[in-house]
């Protein structure tokens, strides 16, 4: 599934990554922002997300019965993996217990003692992932793995998640550095070729129309 992984990275870099000045939910600021939902809720992005997560889970040999995470960042990932895998059920963790009906916090798959994988879209401080881990464990699930789509590699997120996971491996599909690098590469690919207006063809001396690989006129650009 290496092609699916690469395609998913390209889509994240194109649709979900932005450079600028942004305030984060953690209260800090950053020179970039990642909104994975614009990719995980995209038709192609959803399929790719399901393929990449399902393949990683198989390769790890975790053999879970279900996957789930804290609403709402995890929601599209859970659905994508359930549909693509055709065998993993899904569950969602509410941020707080319902105040009506059954009052339950875990929605969907609810088999106590089952092996599960916790998923999230972005890990910064790890707070949402930790909430999901704690709620799942309190319910009675056995957590065999934790995954996030993009790890921001800051704010102590990995350490917090690994501590809460208590021995279950924490895997990030991509790092923010991966997505940033691909985003910048895509920007470079779309930049027009710029050269001095007065540039002359290095072959014949006529006006140049390109500078790649050198200054060339229309007749000698090939």
In terms of Cα–Cα distance, which of 212, 174, 217, 171 is closest to 193? 212
| 71-107 pLDDT, tens digit each | 999 999 999 999 999 999 999 999 876 656 566 899 9
Exposure class string for 100-120: b at 16+ Cβ within 10 A, else e:
eeeeebbeebeeeebebbbbb
Local confidence band at 155 (pLDDT 50, 70, 90 cut-offs): confident
Q: Is the pLDDT of residue 13 over 80?
A: yes
- Assess whether 91 and 199 both reside in one domain: no
The answer to whether 38 and 16 are in contact (CB under 8 A) is yes
- Assess whether 42 and 120 both reside in one domain: yes
For the chain, give the percent of residues with pLDDT over 70. Answer: 84
- Assess whether 89 and 175 both reside in one domain: yes
CATH number for 181: 3.40.50.2020
- Assess whether 215 and 128 both reside in one domain: no
- Antiparallel, parallel or unpaired: β 66-70 and 89-93: parallel
- Antiparallel, parallel or unpaired: β 142-151 and 115-123: parallel
- Assess whether 96 and 176 both reside in one domain: yes
Mean pLDDT of 177-190: 88
Local confidence band at 194 (pLDDT 50, 70, 90 cut-offs): very low
- Assess whether 160 and 205 both reside in one domain: no
For the chain, give the percent of residues with pLDDT over 90. Answer: 71
Q: Is the pLDDT of residue 205 over 80?
A: no
Local confidence band at 222 (pLDDT 50, 70, 90 cut-offs): low
- Assess whether 179 and 199 both reside in one domain: no
Distances (CA, A) of 174 to 5, 7, 186, 208: 9, 12, 17, 42
Q: Is the pLDDT of residue 46 over 70?
A: yes
What is the residue range of 218's domain? 193-222
In terms of Cα–Cα distance, which of 34, 55, 16 is closest to 173? 55
Q: Is the pLDDT of residue 221 over 90?
A: no
pLDDT at residue number 195? 46
In terms of Cα–Cα distance, which of 18, 12, 5, 19 is closest to 38? 12
- Assess whether 144 and 217 both reside in one domain: no
- Assess whether 48 and 59 both reside in one domain: yes
- Assess whether 99 and 151 both reside in one domain: yes
Mean pLDDT of 183-188: 88
- Assess whether 185 and 198 both reside in one domain: no
Residues in the chain: 222
Give the pTM. Answer: 0.82
- Assess whether 211 and 130 both reside in one domain: no
Overall domain count for the chain? 2
């Amino acid at each position: 599934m290496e092609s699916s992984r690469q395609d998913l990275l390209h889509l994240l870099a194109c649709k979900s990554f932005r450079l600028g000045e942004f305030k984060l939910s953690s209260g800090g600021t950053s020179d970039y922002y990642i909104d994975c939902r614009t990719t995980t809720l995209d038709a192609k992005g959803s399929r790719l997300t399901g393929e990449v997560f399902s393949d990683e889970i198989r390769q790890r040999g975790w053999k879970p019965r279900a996957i789930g995470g804290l609403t709402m960042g995890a929601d599209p990932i859970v659905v994508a993996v359930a549909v693509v895998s055709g065998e993993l059920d899904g569950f969602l963790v509410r941020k707080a217990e319902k105040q009506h009906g059954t009052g339950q916090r875990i929605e969907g798959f609810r088999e106590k003692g089952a092996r599960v994988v916790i998923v999230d879209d972005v890990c910064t401080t790890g707070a949402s992932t930790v909430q999901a881990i704690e709620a799942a464990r309190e319910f009675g699930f056995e957590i065999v793995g934790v995954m996030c789509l993009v790890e921001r590699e800051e704010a102590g997120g990995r350490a917090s998640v690994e501590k809460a996971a208590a021995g279950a491996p924490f895997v990030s599909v991509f790092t923010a550095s991966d997505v940033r690098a691909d985003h910048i590469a895509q920007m470079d690919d779309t930049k027009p070729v710029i050269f001095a207006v007065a540039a002359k063809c290095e072959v014949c001396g006529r006006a140049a129309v390109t500078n790649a690989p050198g200054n060339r006129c229309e007749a000698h650009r090939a």
